[in-house]
Amino acid sequence: MNDLLLNKVHDESRQGEAYAPDVVTGDYSRRFYIESYGCQMNFSDSEIIASILQEEGYGATRIVEEADLVLLNTCSIREKAEQTVRKRLGEFRHLKQKKPGMLVGMLGCMAERLKSQLLEEEKLVDLVVGPDAYRTLPSLISQADDGQKAVNVLLSREETYADIAPVRLNTNGITAFVSIMRGCNNMCAFCVVPFTRGRERSRDAYSIVAECRDLAEKGYREVTLLGQNVDSYYWQHPETGENVTFAMLLDRVARISPLLRVRFSTSHPKDITDEVLFTMAAHENICKYIHLPVQSGSTRILQLMNRTYTREWYLAKVKRIREIMPDCGISSDIIAGFCTETEEDHRDTVDVMEKSAYDFSYMFMYSERPGTLAARRYVDDVPADVKKRRLEEIVATQNRLSLESNQKDIGKTFRVLIEGDSKRSKQDWMGRNSQYKVVVFPKMDRQLQPGDYVDVQIHSCTQGTLLGNLIG
């Protein structure tokens, strides 16, 4: 999802990233190292895990050799992600041989499916913990310290970790993720999430607003509200019966401060409502950007995927978004080579891309995941070379659309939130506009810093970046 290299071929959402605060303070008796893979939800979960461990006297480290506890927060969305995790576990086994007493744990979405293999057969890990069982980490660590098999992969219908204040890891102090719900009720045929993260449940709205307000008071300037399907957020107060929809939650967070930008991810096309769109349009600080996965442009394939909409319905939703917010940026997820996909189905996908004019997309070859509806019902019958060729055509189409989208912005002026130095030159700032486009511009000896808002006029662009100059 976000923070990926745009318009590249993605085998998984995000590669492994070691997580630790920029500054580690406190006298900790043990150190933990956590490496996260996959979607933003996993990276958000790592911050919850860090909070739980910190309460138990663990301090974070970015140096794996220093760690007494090594954790991999895993992803099952693509086969290559699992291969990468297995390779890392093998590397950690060698490290563990040099450091007796070190514990290695596997967390997250791979936990349930591979617990027996990795814990008992291959002996690559000492503990296995599922996404809803992080509160039990301290007791599981104690069990593993005593040489016992430490496993908890039970799913929950209630757990949202609403009362746990995340420890912000690898933060720039400007942007932060805030989880608003867990699990998913959509049974998309290709997806493992309902089986690895359980049924959908929404977090207490008051705890979400409180977390966002705390971030704003600490100087953060942007929050991204996270969920597998944020538009279906719905919370009811257990005592008063008060109901809070996603549009209402968006409004409450936006009202915290005009300096706090609000983003969200991800939207399911069937659930994003006019109420949400009008709420976005009403608040300047709610970013005009929607990630709206299409997955396929073929109605026949969409039905096989159990996406519950047609290509015509999806295109009508894109049209409605732009009617209410003409300047709204739209991105998508696209799968090439799903079961039985024909050349006509593929052309339908490219056609939907053209009609939707995506600013950017996350594009994948179909990868069958054990346990999913597709794995049980269909044959993965599209040859690998055909998948690859179709994906290349999808990527080429998106590259062109992205460049055309950026070219339309030349001459425009955008309000940009500075996030830090440009990767290519410390003489330039890098930030993003409301549409989530990267904007790079010279510092010009102005007394600015990350977290400042500036107006930038665009003079040129690349496929993935807007280039401009400060004005005013």
pLDDT tens digits, 113-124: 777 777 776 788
- Number of H helices and E strands in the chain, helices first, is 13, 22
Q: How far apart are CA 336 and CA 92, in angstroms?
A: 34
Q: How far apart are CA 424 and CA 290, in angstroms?
A: 28
**Which pLDDT score is estimated for 193?**
87
**Which pLDDT score is estimated for 195?**
87
In sequence order, what are the beta bridge partners of 179? 226
Q: How far apart are CA 471 and CA 235, in angstroms?
A: 43
Q: Is the fold of 175-400 the same as that of 413-470?
A: no
**Which pLDDT score is estimated for 121?**
66
Question: 17-152, what's its fold?
Answer: Rossmann fold (3.40.50)
What residues contact residue 206 under an 8 Å CB cut-off, 6+ apart?
A: none
**Helix, strand, coil percentages in the chain from 3-state DSSP, rounded to 5:** 35, 25, 40
**Which pLDDT score is estimated for 12?**
35
Q: How far apart are CA 179 and CA 457, in angstroms?
A: 34
Whether residue 34 is predicted with pLDDT greater than 80 in this model: the reply is yes
- Alpha-helix residue ranges (DSSP H) falling in 181-310: 193-196, 205-217, 246-254, 274-282, 299-305
**Which pLDDT score is estimated for 287?**
98
Whether residue 15 is predicted with pLDDT greater than 70 in this model: the reply is no
Task: Look at 10 and 342; give whichever has higher pLDDT.
Answer: 342
**Which pLDDT score is estimated for 225?**
97
At 239-278, the pLDDT tens digits run 999 999 999 999 999 999 999 999 999 999 999 999 999 9
What residues contact residue 100 under an 8 Å CB cut-off, 6+ apart?
A: none
Q: Are 90 and 60 in contact (CB under 8 A)?
A: no
Whether residue 452 is predicted with pLDDT greater than 70 in this model: the reply is yes
pTM reported for the whole predicted model: 0.89
**Which pLDDT score is estimated for 110?**
84
Query: Mean pLDDT across the stretch 44-70?
Result: 93
Whether residue 442 is predicted with pLDDT greater than 50 in this model: the reply is yes
Whether residue 22 is predicted with pLDDT greater than 70 in this model: the reply is no
| Element (DSSP H or E) covering residue 428 | strand 428-432
**Which pLDDT score is estimated for 71?**
95
Query: Mean pLDDT across the stretch 201-220?
Result: 97
Query: Mean pLDDT across the stretch 178-197?
Result: 92
At 324-374, the pLDDT tens digits run 999 999 999 999 999 999 999 999 999 999 999 999 999 999 999 888 999
What residues contact residue 167 under an 8 Å CB cut-off, 6+ apart?
A: 21, 47, 50, 51, 54, 60
Whether residue 321 is predicted with pLDDT greater than 50 in this model: the reply is yes
Q: How confident is the model at residue 6 (pLDDT cuts 50, 70, 90)?
A: very low
Indicate the Cα dihedral angle 452, 457, 460, 462, nearest 10°: 30
**Which pLDDT score is estimated for 18?**
53
Question: In 3-state terms, what secondary structure has residue 48?
Answer: helix
**Which pLDDT score is estimated for 340?**
98
Spans of all domains in the chain = 17-152, 175-400, 413-470
**Which pLDDT score is estimated for 102?**
93
pLDDT more than 90, % of the chain: 76
The two three-digit tokens of residue 181, written as one number:
């719900």
**Which pLDDT score is estimated for 11?**
35
**Which pLDDT score is estimated for 37?**
86
Whether residue 171 is predicted with pLDDT greater than 70 in this model: the reply is yes
Task: Look at 149 and 337; give whichever has higher pLDDT.
Answer: 337
CATH 2.40.50.140 fits 413-470, yes or no: yes
AA letter at 363: M
Dihedral of CA 253/259/265/270: which sign?
A: positive
Regarding the domain with residue range 175-400, which homologous superfamily does it belong to in the CATH classification? tm_1862 like domain (3.80.30.20)
Query: How wide is the angle at C-alpha 323 spanned by C-alphas 321 and 325, nearest 5°?
Result: 65
